[in-house]
Amino acid sequence: MSNKVLLVDDDRHVINALTRALRHEPYEILSANSANEALDIMAGAHVDAVVSDEKMPGMSGSEFLAVVCEKYPDTIRILLTGHASLEVAIRAINEGEIYRFFTKPWNDVDLAISIRKALQQKELIVKSRLLLKKVKEQSSILQELEKEHPGITKVKKDSSGAIVVDDIAEIERDIESFLDAKYE
């Protein structure tokens, strides 16, 4: 499944230039000419990253990205502007929690690399959440096992640090019967 990148700008030429900048990337490119159109797209499709212009009629890019942050917090947010100011940058960072801030004209390579790195970071975060969930599930199973069979999760070691197993067959039977009862 390829990542979806949404490009938002009221200037069609900018959308076309951004699309060309990302043409070698393995993304599905979506585009919108306004913040409201972009929000409509996002309501119907999972979007991994948004690159938005700041100056647009109706809703500014930083306001739009603040809405995206609230409604779709896992979506990567990048702001693109031809009118950079400290106020715009601070608002975009504080309210939209943007990943990057680019000025027009942008560097195609920097933009493509930034989106790629952001998507890789997002993928790592998703994987770490899944691993954490799995660890919590396994910890819960071990706690239940310990309640039913006190001491079963304790590890005995000899003076050299080697694990000592009294009766492995009995322990295996206890674990199997516990798991059978739990997942029936």
**Domain identity same for 143 and 61:** no
User: What is the predicted pLDDT for the residue at 157?
Assistant: 82
Q: Which residue has the tokens 């003076």?
A: 159
Asked if residue 162 belongs to a domain, the reply is yes
What tens-digit pLDDT sequence spans the chain (184 residues)?
689 999 999 999 999 999 999 999 999 999 999 999 999 999 999 999 999 998 899 999 989 999 999 999 999 999 898 776 666 666 666 566 777 878 888 999 999 999 999 999 889 988 999 999 999 999 898 888 888 878 777 777 888 888 777 666 777 777 788 788 767 6
**Domain identity same for 121 and 32:** yes
Contacts of residue 34, Cβ cutoff 8 Å, sequence gap at least 6: 8, 10, 56, 57, 58, 59
- Give how many domains the chain has, as a whole number: 2
In DSSP terms, 7 is beta-bridged to: 31, 51
What is the torsion angle, in degrees rounded to the nearest 10, for the CA atoms of residue 58, residue 59, residue 60 and residue 63?
170
**Domain identity same for 56 and 143:** no
Q: Can you tell me the distance from the alpha carbon of 25 to that of 4, in angstroms, rounded to the nearest whole number?
A: 11
User: What is the predicted pLDDT for the residue at 110?
Assistant: 92
User: What is the predicted pLDDT for the residue at 52?
Assistant: 94
**Domain identity same for 40 and 93:** yes
Q: Can you tell me the distance from the alpha carbon of 96 to that of 78, in angstroms, rounded to the nearest whole number?
A: 9
Asked if residue 134 belongs to a domain, the reply is no
Asked if residue 132 belongs to a domain, the reply is no
Q: What is the pTM of this model?
A: 0.72
Residues spanned by the domain of 62? 3-127
**Domain identity same for 111 and 145:** no
Burial of 137 (0-12, 13-18, 19+ CB in 10 A): exposed
**Domain identity same for 21 and 61:** yes
Of the candidates 22, 39, 30, which has an alpha carbon nearest to the alpha carbon of residue 113? 22
**Domain identity same for 123 and 143:** no
DSSP-derived 3-state class of residue 178: helix
CATH number of the CATH domain containing 37: 3.40.50.2300
